[in-house]
Every structure is written in C-alpha cells, then in structure tokens.
C-alpha cells in the first residue's frame, strides 16, 4: 500500500504562455522571485511551448541570477512533434515520438535551454500510440543514471497507459498531468484520480479554470458554476471565484498540484491565499452538482 507523500507542491507556475506575456527576462526574474517569496517553487514547461522558444526564454531569466535555480524546480515535457509551418513542416502530420533517441535528445536540449545541469521532472507530454514501454523505460533509466533528470512522469495518460509504463520501471513515476477543473471532471470517473491515490502520486492539473470558460462562457454549465462558486465563496470567506476553484481542487485526496497559467503575481498571490480556505464536503458536492446539472444518486 502506498501512502500519498507529496512530491509536488500544491501550486505550480505554468509558463506555456510566457511569450504571450511579452515580458523581459528581468521582469520574468522578478516574477519568479516574488513567487518564491510566496512559497511557490515548481515551474511547468514543455519543449514545444512557444514553438520551441519558451524554455530558452525562461533560461534567459535564470541566467541573470543563477542562484535562483536552487530555489525552483523545473518540470518539463517532451514527445509531441508538431508540424509548425515556421519550421518548414507545412503539410506534415502532427505526431508523437516516445523513442529513446527522441526523449534523450529533447532532455539534453531542455538542459541547454534552461542553462542547468538537471531537470527535476521530465514528463512524456502525450500518450504515443506507438509507445514501446521498454524503450521509454530505457531512456528514463539512462537519463536518471546520468543525473540529467531526477524524476519522471507522464501527461494526459489513461490509467492503463500509465500502468504499462510503470510496470517497466523500478522507480515510481511521480505524476500524471491531466486536464481537470469543476468544468471538466472526467478524471473523477475514468479511474485517473483513483490510480493517483493508489500509487501515491500527486496529479498535476492543467486548465484548472477551464481556459477561462468558468468566468466568461455563457453555456448553462458555466452559468450554474459561476452562481454556485460565488455562493460558496461568500460562505467560506472568499470574493474570488478562482480561489474557490483552487480550494475545491485541493480537497481531492490525491493531493493535486494545480498549474497556474498566469504571469500576474497578484493572481498568483490570490491563488496561494486559497490554501487557507476551508470547504465542507457539502459545498464541494454543491459545486459538483452545478457542473453536472444533477445531484448524486
């Protein structure tokens, strides 16, 4: 039996929109330092973010003050090969590559982009239908033995896909990064979050605010959620809907790590404050009911 000891912190800074923020490396460094002061150290990346530019851009901030590297953890992903026209790949198919050669090459490239000697966590970004679990395990073992990567995980894997890869490893995968929010709750029913508890694994949650749909969408589900989130927020002492969402997510016993997609330190601080909010089971299920549109059986 595995006890769920936390490997990842409750909140993670997500940098997939780093280029969209249009900030300088100096501004990014200041943002990082402010987040560290709040108590946040995990940062989420991927080789393909910003058409392969975001990792290197983040690395520019780290280069300004190399000691900052010791205060953060770098989580990045590989395995997606998009046919970006900017790379002369127009007409080619987007595809996945979980071969040993590709995984090791991309890990080495990420190390150079970040200007670091190790990645704290490396994830396979999407399940590859051609994944050879033994080959992936071989790549992971090589990177681990070389000290290039400390921990490994997956992203968007089904329970069976994760179980297959885990069966080939003699060390534990540390996370499955999945889409989950009060708007998108399929992981509650498809076995994904059950498996995380079973393995003592902290899932990482991307799109916790459903890409903003919880705030702005006019579909019936979103309108029900907004009303109930505001109601519950008033009951637990929060005026911010996103804080209520983060508190709702944190209640799951898998001890998830929620990826924040903002470069605004005020919003990060607001999310951090949500950790002090206390929500009852009835309130949690009231939000679940608003999302599904029906009561539990």
Torsional sign, CA 81, 85, 89, 90:
positive
- Considering the entire predicted model, what is its pTM? 0.96
User: Given the structure tokens 């990826």, which residue do they identify?
Assistant: 259
Contacts of 26 (CB under 8 A, 6+ apart): 61, 64
Q: Both tokens of residue 31?
A: 């943002």
> What tens-digit pLDDT sequence spans the chain (297 residues)?
344 567 899 999 999 999 999 999 999 999 999 999 999 999 999 999 999 999 999 999 999 999 999 999 999 999 999 988 877 778 889 999 999 999 999 999 999 999 999 999 999 999 999 999 999 999 999 999 999 999 999 999 999 999 999 999 999 999 999 999 999 999 999 999 999 999 999 999 999 999 999 999 999 999 999 999 999 999 999 989 999 999 999 999 999 999 999 999 999 999 999 999 999 999 999 999 999 999 999
Q: Which of 49, 52, 129, 285 is catalytic?
A: 49
Check: CB of residue 125 under 8 Å from CB of residue 46: yes
User: Given the structure tokens 């007409």, which residue do they identify?
Assistant: 91
- Catalytic residue flag (residue 183): no
Q: How far is the CA of 210 from the CAs of 152, 181, 206, 242, in angstroms?
A: 26, 6, 9, 11
CA atoms within 13 A on the CB side of 118: 15
pLDDT at site 3: 46
The neighbouring-strand residues paired with 205 are: 178, 258
Chain-centroid distance, C-alpha 117: 22
For residue 277, count other CB atoms closer than 10 A to its CB: 19
Phi, psi of 26, rounded to the nearest 5 degrees? -65, -40
pLDDT at site 5: 62
Torsional sign, CA 262, 266, 268, 270:
negative
pLDDT at site 1: 36
């Amino acid at each position: 039996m595995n006890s769920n000891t936390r490997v990842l912190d409750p909140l993670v800074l997500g940098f997939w929109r780093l280029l969209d923020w249009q900030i300088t490396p100096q501004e990014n460094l200041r943002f990082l330092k402010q987040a560290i002061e709040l108590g946040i150290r995990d940062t989420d990346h991927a080789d393909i973010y910003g058409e392969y530019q975001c990792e290197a851009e983040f690395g520019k901030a780290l280069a300004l003050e190399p000691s900052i590297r010791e205060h953060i953890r770098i989580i990045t992903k590989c395995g997606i090969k998009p046919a970006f026209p900017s790379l002369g790949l127009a007409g080619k198919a987007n595809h996945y590559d979980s071969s040993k050669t590709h995984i090791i090459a991309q890990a080495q490239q990420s190390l150079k982009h970040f200007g670091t000697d190790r990645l704290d966590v490396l994830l396979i970004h999407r399940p590859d239908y051609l994944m050879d679990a033994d080959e992936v395990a071989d790549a992971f073992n090589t990177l681990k033995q070389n000290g290039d990567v400390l921990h490994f995980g997956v992203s968007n894997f089904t329970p069976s896909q994760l179980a297959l890869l885990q069966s080939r490893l003699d060390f534990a995968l540390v996370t499955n990064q999945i889409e989950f929010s009060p708007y998108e709750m399929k992981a509650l029913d498809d076995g994904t979050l059950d498996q995380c508890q079973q393995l003592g694994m902290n899932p990482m949650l991307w799109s916790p605010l459903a890409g903003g749909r919880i705030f702005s969408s006019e579909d019936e589900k979103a309108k029900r959620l907004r009303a109930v989130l505001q109601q519950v927020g008033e009951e637990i002492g929060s005026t911010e809907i996103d804080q209520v969402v983060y508190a709702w997510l944190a209640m799951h016993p898998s001890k998830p790590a929620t990826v924040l997609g903002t470069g605004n330190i005020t919003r990060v601080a607001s999310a951090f404050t949500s950790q002090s909010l206390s929500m009852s089971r009835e309130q949690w299920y009231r939000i679940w009911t608003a999302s599904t549109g029906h009561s539990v059986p």
